[in-house]
A and B are shown apart, each in its own frame.
Chain A
Amino acid sequence: MTSDTRSSEPIIIDIENITKDYVMGEEVVHALRGVSLQIRSNEYLAVMGPSGSGKSTLMNMLGCLDTPTSGRYEFNGRDVSSMTDDELACIRNREIGFVFQTFNLLPRADSLRNVELPLVYAGIDAETRRERAAHVLQEVGLGDRLYHKPNELSGGQRQRVAIARALVNDPSIILADEPTGNLDSKTGGEIMALFEDLYQRGHTIILVTHEADIAHHARRTVRLRDGLIESDDGGFDGLGMLPIEGPLEADVTAYR
């Protein structure tokens, strides 16, 4: 009936009315004031917003680095909001691939060892680790840089190593925080092309950025302001704030 597959994709992230308060000295900062968001498999989503909008806080929530003050967060149907530190570590290890603005590679380890790291924490044996790490490095175009240390690689190459590291555990989502922030525009473009490629191959990508050009690569944009979702285009540039479910289907067909 319809060529759209999105609405039938399983929901990976289901956030309902979450808030996050920080105590800063005497003051309580309400970083998130009630955010609801659903992200399905194989979405390419950008989270935008000026600094102080709660963008980073939301990213920490999505990445299971932090738990909400109130509200519900289900990741692949599992309630994350009440998990212990170690359970969260396990979720991060298996379900989430992080890409940081500053790459965050281990300086004294070569590309292979850096990419292997999540597999070490997953308890996978050395041989499989090597194999899989080499494979994903190949995929991101660094097949000839396996034994280079970060300081022997260019910025773009370092970010590719980081992306390979994010991919190696075959996570449910890739969470990229300003992935081009430390790169020149040409290299940034290459990295965005790589994300596009990953998206086309079925990965789910969440991009956190304040740059509109970068957010433009995503299929869906969520804008935050003052701890609330200001707009969610539901996956269609220029189509405004449509809800993600329901009457969307027709539009999707039209868009395609």
Chain B
Amino acid sequence: MKRFAYELSESWKIAVAQMRSNKTRSTLTALGVIIGIVAVTLMGTAIAGIQVGFDKSMAIFGDDVLYVSQWPWKPVDDWWNYRDRKKIKTEYAEPINRIIAATPNSNLVIAVPTSSLLRSVKYGQSEVSNVLIRGTVSDYLITSTFDFKEGRFFNDTESRGGANVCVIGYDVADALFPSESPVGKSVLINGQPFRVGGVISRQGTFLGLFSLDSIVVMPLPAFQKYFSAKSDSDILVKVKDKTRLAQARDELTGVMRRVRGLPPEKKDDFSINEQQALKSTLDPIKNSIAIAGLFITGLSLFVGAIGIMNITFVSVKERTREIGTRKALGARRRTILLQFLIESTSLCLLGGFIGLGVAYVMCTGIGQAFPSFPIRFSLGLVVVSMAVSILTGLFSGFAPAWSASRLDPVAALRYE
């Protein structure tokens, strides 16, 4: 054991001396690992960032809300079966709510109808296109949580009366009213004026794909009056207890079948969706992005490892006589193996440290330049990249170190 410790410290000294005496070579070789570690670490931060963004985006749907829709939130093979389904109508909300009210101990709280389509929104000379226009009722606030930057949501009276009022998303407000308050002003949608009653505070983007702040919400009767033709409707149903989601789902299925008047032998002609289902659809995509990313960046690290392996082979070749001498003086196979493994590993660790430093600087830089870019630098990442460096060193050093340890002392001593 003591002997092992001395051999270890001896190997470490040799490794340091070796790196110092071959500075250029060591630097160039370590460069491969540096680049590899930078790539892997940056990919790691990006993946961690995507994960955070993903969770944040998912939270928007609420984990206690069921969505009654024509289409399920997952890829389907037999899309034609879904295409011919009857559309979900906003009017269903009323009978659903009646049944909920009549059911004792119902798992459901309330059903809220929504109907949406994309339109341009104008104010004066400014225009924002592709804004999600959504018609709903004042209870919408129960199923969808958001705060108001200013103003308020429309109340029940406005909702039922179908007044030309609306609340606008942060982006819409920002684009149309850069220097004034939108509250009380009227925006034009489809040529119709709608008085702005409030501005929703910033929601961010969904998976970084589209903005959740490019939205206008208005009372359902007003929406139907002007836009009903091509809109898609969903019923949002709030669940009482999110731990009993499955029961709530079954209950809602029963309710919907009653509303639709389906005989028992017929299949459901609607889909009940939830955040979890969306998550399990998107998770594999997210994971394969992560795996593909790590694989590609891992390749660069692999190239670095090959460089280390190569240089360790050269080092073994160059020092064949030294190895012979060491063996003659009593170095065992293990000693020689250890010596070269430590050499390659310390080179990799050095590269790993520098790479991590570079990655940290780059992360901070990217984070400041593009605040919206999801990037996360964590202690776990430091530990992982150090471990990866060590593994790379062991991996790349093993073959040359093994061949060195197996050298015949006689042949090694005679090597020119």
By a beta-carbon cutoff of 8 Å, the part of chain A in contact with chain B is 60, 63, 65-66, 85-86, 89-90, 92-94, 98, 100, 104, 106, 108-109, 117-118, 120-126, 165, 169
Report A-chain residues with C-beta under 8 Å of the C-beta of B335.
121
With the chains together, A117 CA to B322 CA distance in Å? 12
Contact residue among A90, A125, A169 (Cβ-Cβ distance under 8 Å from B332): A90
Which of chain B's residues 363-416 have a Cβ closer than 8 Å to chain A?
Answer: 408-410, 413
Contact residue among A60, A108, A122 (Cβ-Cβ distance under 8 Å from B330): A122
Q: Tell whether B83 is near chain A: CB-to-CB under 8 Å.
A: no
Q: In angstroms, how far is the closest chain A Cβ from the Cβ of B20? A: 9
Residues A86 and B333 in contact in the complex (CB < 8 Å), given A100-B325, A100-B413: yes
B326-A63 in contact (CB<8A): no
Report B-chain residues with C-beta under 8 Å of the C-beta of A85.
332-333
Contact residue among B17, B325, B331, B409 (Cβ-Cβ distance under 8 Å from A108): B17
Contact residue among B2, B6, B21, B330 (Cβ-Cβ distance under 8 Å from A89): B330
Report B-chain residues with C-beta under 8 Å of the C-beta of A169.
330
Q: In angstroms, how far is the closest chain A Cβ from the Cβ of B14? A: 8
Report A-chain residues with C-beta under 8 Å of the C-beta of B266.
none
A92-B329 in contact (CB<8A): yes
A94-B321 in contact (CB<8A): no
Interface centre among A65, A66, A117, A126, by most chain B C-beta atoms within 10 angstroms, is: A65
Report B-chain residues with C-beta under 8 Å of the C-beta of A124.
6
A117-B333 in contact (CB<8A): no
The residue on A at minimum CB distance from B331 is A121
Report B-chain residues with C-beta under 8 Å of the C-beta of A121.
3, 7, 326, 329-332, 335
With the chains together, A89 CA to B333 CA distance in Å? 9
Q: Tell whether B314 is near chain A: CB-to-CB under 8 Å.
A: no
Report A-chain residues with C-beta under 8 Å of the C-beta of B17.
108-109
B2-A98 in contact (CB<8A): no
Q: Tell whether B328 is near chain A: CB-to-CB under 8 Å.
A: yes
Report B-chain residues with C-beta under 8 Å of the C-beta of A65.
327-328, 409-410, 413
With the chains together, A169 CA to B329 CA distance in Å? 10
Q: In angstroms, how far is the closest chain A Cβ from the Cβ of B17? A: 5
Query: 8 A-B pairs, CB-CB below 8 angstroms?
Result: A90-B330, A93-B329, A108-B21, A117-B326, A117-B329, A125-B6, A126-B6, A165-B329
Known: A65-B328, A118-B329, A126-B6. 10 other contacts (CB 8 A): A66-B408, A66-B409, A89-B331, A89-B332, A104-B321, A117-B326, A122-B3, A123-B6, A124-B6, A165-B329
Report B-chain residues with C-beta under 8 Å of the C-beta of A93.
329-330
Q: Tell whether B147 is near chain A: CB-to-CB under 8 Å.
A: no
Report B-chain residues with C-beta under 8 Å of the C-beta of A165.
329
A120-B333 in contact (CB<8A): no
Report B-chain residues with C-beta under 8 Å of the C-beta of A60.
410
Report A-chain residues with C-beta under 8 Å of the C-beta of B327.
65, 89, 92
Which of chain B's residues 17-32 have a Cβ closer than 8 Å to chain A?
Answer: 17, 21
Report B-chain residues with C-beta under 8 Å of the C-beta of A106.
322, 325
In the complex, per-residue mask of B297-330: 1 if CB is within 8 Å of any chain A CB, else 0:
0000000000000000000000001101111111
Contact residue among B3, B324, B326 (Cβ-Cβ distance under 8 Å from A123): B3
Q: In angstroms, how far is the closest chain B Cβ from the Cβ of A133? A: 13
Q: Tell whether B156 is near chain A: CB-to-CB under 8 Å.
A: no
The residue on A at minimum CB distance from B328 is A98
Report A-chain residues with C-beta under 8 Å of the C-beta of B409.
65-66
Q: Tell whether B150 is near chain A: CB-to-CB under 8 Å.
A: no
Q: In angstroms, how far is the closest chain A Cβ from the Cβ of B54? A: 53
In the complex, per-residue mask of B194-213: 1 if CB is within 8 Å of any chain A CB, else 0:
00000000000000000000
A123-B2 in contact (CB<8A): yes
A63-B329 in contact (CB<8A): no
